[in-house]
Amino acid sequence: VARSSGRHFEEISAVSAGVKEVRAVISAARRRLGASGEETILFIDEVHRFSRSQQDALLPAVENRWVTLIAATTENPSFSVVAPLLSRSILLTLEPLGDDDIGELVDRALTDKRGLDSRIKIEDEARELLVRLAGADARRSLTLLEAAAATALDSRAPAITVDHVSEAADSALVRYGEDEHYDVASAFIKSMRGSDVDAAVHYLARMLEAGEDPRFIARRIMITASEDVGMADPSALQTAVAAAQSVQMIGMPEARIILSQAVIAVAIAPKSNAAYMAIEKATKDIRDGKSGPVPMHLRDAHYPGAKKLGHGQDYIYAHDEPYGIAAQQYLPDELEGARYYEPTSNGFEANVTKRLAKVQERLKMR
């Protein structure tokens, strides 16, 4: 870009540079612009490595057009780049390489003089494994190829085999940046919610292999058990809580078995978000100013003088009533008749629906 536009080019790596280096480049760019009118393109690699203060130091230069900033990051910029800088930028997303692209790169590296210079070949199955282990990462594919080739050449093998690739890789390294942490966690939760047990277990394994904290995973399972299963199968939350406690006591690698059981239980359970929707509706009313005073008969009456204020007067003790249901007003006057919990007909909640209808009928008998 700099060469085609006739501009000066400067490059900084956020891994090793700090605010001092950034300011020095910007100062030189200002002098150059003022003295000769020559503009500067500043390229910053791994910009997500810069702290917030370091990124803020770039703002004046960008706003005043002292430099044209081009920054590269392997992380999601929505999480790794400060909002003021991001709002002044054009975001270009480079899509992952496909298997054919990685395969072509491997083939070229085998024959190119800058690579292995045709000193060794690779078997088809080994090539397929290497491409798969690379996970759309060109750099990783070359690293694996180099290591596998070194092993094969040391053993005087005529070609790189599956065993050579496996030995070089040790295990499939899961590509997992901060943005993928959120993407995989989101897919994990949505798979449990959508009742796709196989997808849910896949994403569980993916997170564990990437080194995700099993306690984080356990928390996601507990939340899903309540938010998306709820009263359709109350035992799902019990299973999720038991799994979370077991993970704390046992740890990895055995904790993966417990997490798998909990994930399967939540994924195959009947679904209901009625409990989630109930608290959402109630919270909205509170935030909208709909609350009102607590009815007098429900107020605390245990302290001296409370009865003189009318607290607890005419309160009906539920256990003295038929079926243990006391027909009296519970909600504030302003919310009388409000309905927050609306059970579904899914799973156990179908029984709850029938019971709730009977309870509500008795509550009206006051």
CA 318 and chain centroid, separation: 45
Count of beta carbons in the 10 Å neighbourhood of residue 97: 18
**Residues 141, 81 share a domain:** no
Domain at 332, CATH number: 1.10.3710.10
Domain at 223, CATH number: 1.20.272.10
**Residues 111, 45 share a domain:** no
Contact 42, 70 (CB under 8 A): yes
Residue ending a domain, among 87, 117, 137, is 87
Give the three-class secondary structure for 115: coil
Give the integer Cα–Cα distance in Å for 200 and 267: 7
**Residues 224, 149 share a domain:** no
- Residue 111 belongs to domain spanning: 99-169
User: From the first residue on, what is the mean pLDDT of each consecutive set of 10 residues in the chain (366 residues)?
Assistant: 87 85 90 90 90 87 90 85 88 87 93 91 92 84 90 90 84 56 91 96 91 91 96 96 93 92 97 96 91 89 84 90 90 91 93 91 83
pLDDT at 43: 93
Question: Is residue 137 assigned to a domain?
Answer: yes
Question: Is residue 151 assigned to a domain?
Answer: yes
Torsion of CA 184, 190, 193, 195, to 10 degrees: -80
Contact 344, 275 (CB under 8 A): no
The pLDDT tens digits of the residues spanning 110-155 come to 999 998 989 999 999 999 989 988 878 888 889 889 989 998 998 8
Contact 231, 275 (CB under 8 A): yes
Give how far Cα 365 sits from Cα of 201, 217, 297, 320, 362, Å: 50, 47, 17, 15, 5
The pairing of strands 121-122 and 68-71 is unpaired
Give the integer Cα–Cα distance in Å for 234 and 213: 26
The pLDDT tens digits of the residues spanning 29-59 come to 999 998 988 999 999 998 988 888 888 888 9
Domain tally, the chain: 4
Question: Side chain identity at 286, as an amino acid letter?
Answer: I
Question: Is residue 275 assigned to a domain?
Answer: no
Residue ending a domain, among 148, 169, 190, is 169
Question: Is residue 351 assigned to a domain?
Answer: yes
**Residues 182, 264 share a domain:** yes
Question: Is residue 282 assigned to a domain?
Answer: no
